[in-house]
Amino acid sequence: MKKKFDVLVQGAGMVGATTALALARNGFSVGLVERQNLDLLNGLLADEIDNRVSAISPASQKLLQELGVWHDVTSQRCSDYFKMKVWHENGSALMQFSSEQIGISHLGSIVENRLLQSVLLQHLKHLPNVQFFKQQEVTSVQQLDNRVQINTTAKAVLEAELLIAADGRGSTIRELLNLPVTSGNYAQTAIVANVNTEKFHENTAWQRFLTTGPLAFLPLSNGQSSIVWSADTERADELLQLPEEDFRLQLAEAFEFRLGQITATSQRMGFPLSWHTADKWLEGRVLLMGDAAHGVHPLAGQGVNLGFADVAALQILLKPGQPAYQRRVLRGFERQRKAETVTATHLFSALKLCYAQEAPLLCGVRNAGMSIVEKSSIIKRLVLQSAVHNMS
């Protein structure tokens, strides 16, 4: 027996769950399909803060507030940061940004991915117009005259006006439709872990650029810091294999002991880094969003904000009482968001390339540029306003 919805969403991660919630709040019936078990539906989290965190921008927080979930996140584990410090190993310039410079309460908040996903799922499970299809992989996608139909590994046959693929970088839907992707490999691995430091993190997001890749320290609510150490693959493999004591010492040295010694670390995890953008986001009645459509370098954990901006734009366009599938409207969404995310993707790549340069002349130019930014309150405000309001 077929089950019919206004919208099907494949993928119940942060972006997929937010998409489902936004559309359900707008009155659409939603079928949410996820390959995982979704144990986070029970709302239980481990005592330790998870290694995978994101820096949620004020613009993304605004969306989550409008959907009624942000308070449930901040009432649990969430760390606002008020300052950002950026410097390079080759040069003396230091750029410092603060929320006071543009008159806002904070620059962003560091949140565990699992916590935010759990809160979103808790809200979704209480909505009568949302139905979950857990532990099911999509096996086929058929584009019909006025519907799209999917089949799953659990023998479910689901139909909707619109299918949204929010199922990550290796999107099953994108592969089933043979949608082309433009991509590149950074030849780097991101090492993530939570660390204890001698000194307090000062509710500051720290970013030091090394020639082998950027190192970020992001403040956590329990006083620890989440590190994202992106390093050339060979260097990252060495770091992942080091005994903990040796790793802690090399990490502290790479960070110039800004927070003193590293006194403890959680388990280290490594993730290969690449970028991609789907050549088409809309194919018939199938729309790609989030990492299924675009992926960037994880500079300071900002990537998920691009996915939340996808949701915010779609929520505005698909208004209550209107059809879920409106080709002209969705084409406009595709053009707007694709242009913005392609720009962000290449900006992140350019920053990575710029800060990796070791030539003395280029180092001098980079150092001078950073000094100019640091001394100009006007440029600082422009940079911060762009990051806070647009990088979302």
Compute the distance between CA of residue 108 and CA of residue 58 in angstroms, rounded to an integer.
Answer: 6
Q: Quick one: pLDDT band at residue 101, thresholds 50, 70, 90?
A: confident
* Dist. CA 83–CA 206, nearest whole Å: 8
pLDDT at position 355 is 47
Q: What distance in Å separates the CA atoms of residue 374 and residue 97, rounded to the nearest whole number?
A: 8
Q: What is the Cα–Cα distance from 348 to 345, expressed in whole angstroms?
A: 5
Query: Are the CB atoms for 3 and 157 separated by under 8 Å?
Result: yes
Question: Tokens for 310?
Answer: 């996808």
The per-residue pLDDT for 71 is 96
> What is the model's pLDDT at position 365?
46
Q: Which has the higher per-residue pLDDT, 387 or 133?
A: 133
Q: Quote the pLDDT of residue 366.
A: 43
At residue 344, what is the residue type? Answer: A
Summarize the confidence of residues 224-240 as an average pLDDT: 95
Give residue-wise pLDDT tens across range 179-198: 999 998 888 999 999 999 99
- pLDDT attached to residue 369: 52
Amino acid in position 84: M
By the 8 A CB rule, do 277 and 182 touch?
A: yes
Statement: residue 304 has pLDDT above 80: yes
Q: Is the pLDDT of residue 313 over 70?
A: yes
pLDDT in tens, 17-51: 999 999 999 999 999 999 988 887 777 777 889 99
Is residue 129 within 8 A of residue 30, CB to CB? The reply is yes
Is 384 within a domain? no
Predicted confidence band of residue 87 (pLDDT cuts 50, 70, 90) = confident
Q: Residue 223 in 3-state DSSP?
A: coil
Say if 246 falls within a structural domain: no
Q: From CA 137, how far away is CA 298, in angstroms rounded?
A: 27
Per-residue DSSP letter, 45: -
171 is a domain residue: yes
CA distance 33 to 133: 5
Q: What is the pLDDT of residue 69?
A: 97
Q: What is the mean pLDDT of residues 382-391?
A: 56
The total number of structural domains that make up the chain: 1
Residue 234 lies in a domain: no
Q: Which pTM does this prediction carry?
A: 0.90
Distance CA 179, CA 305 (A): 24
Could you tell me if residue 269 is inside a domain? no
Are 131 and 106 spatial neighbours (Cβ–Cβ below 8 Å)? no
Which one, of 294, 392, 374, lies nearest residue 342 by Cα?
294
Report CA torsion sign: 169, 175, 177, 179: positive
C-alpha distances (whole Å) from 360 to each of 25, 212, 287, 366, 378 are 55, 16, 46, 10, 28
Q: What's the average model confidence in pLDDT over 250-278?
A: 96
Please tell me the distance from the alpha carbon of residue 374 to that of residue 85, in angstroms, as a whole number. 10
User: What are the residues facing 142 on neighbouring strands?
Assistant: 149
Q: Predicted confidence band at 302 (pLDDT cuts at 50, 70, 90)? A: low
**Which range, 57-71, 202-216, 337-351, 374-388, has the best average confidence (pLDDT)?**
57-71
CA–CA separation, 274 and 185 (whole Å): 4
Residues 252 and 198: beta-carbon distance below 8 Å: no
pLDDT at 381: 56
- Region 278-296 average pLDDT: 96
In this predicted structure, the answer to whether residue 285 has a pLDDT above a threshold of 70 is: yes
Q: Give the model's confidence band at 342: pLDDT under 50 very low, under 70 low, under 90 confident, else very high.
A: confident
Q: What is the mean pLDDT of the chain?
A: 88
Element (H, E) at 70: helix 70-74
Length of the chain: 392
Q: What CATH number is given to the structural domain containing 308?
A: 3.50.50.60
pLDDT value for 348? 60
Percent above pLDDT 70 for the chain: 86
Better-predicted residue by pLDDT, 38 or 139:
139
Helix (H, G, I), strand (E, B) or coil at 48: coil
**Residue 391: its pLDDT value, please?**
43
- Taking the C-alpha atoms of residue 199 and residue 259, their distance in angstroms, rounded to an integer, is 5
**348 is in which domain, residue-wise?**
2-52+126-182+274-352
For residue 322, give every residue at least 6 positions away whose Cβ sits within 8 Å of its Cβ, in sequence order, or none. Answer: none
Whether the predicted pLDDT of 271 surpasses 90: yes
Q: Which of 79-88, 146-155, 372-381 has the lowest mean pLDDT?
A: 372-381
Residues 347-360: tens digit of each pLDDT: 665 555 554 545 45
pLDDT of 374 strictly over 80: no
Per-residue pLDDT, 38? 83
3-state secondary structure of 381: helix
In a domain, residue 79? The reply is: no
If pLDDT is split at 50, 70 and 90, which confidence band does 103 have?
Answer: confident
pLDDT at 67 over 50: yes
Residue 389 in any domain: the answer is: no
pLDDT in tens, 167-184: 999 999 999 999 999 998
Is residue 109 in some structural domain? no
Q: What average pLDDT score do residues 258-278 get?
A: 95
Q: Which residue has the tokens 């479910």?
A: 156
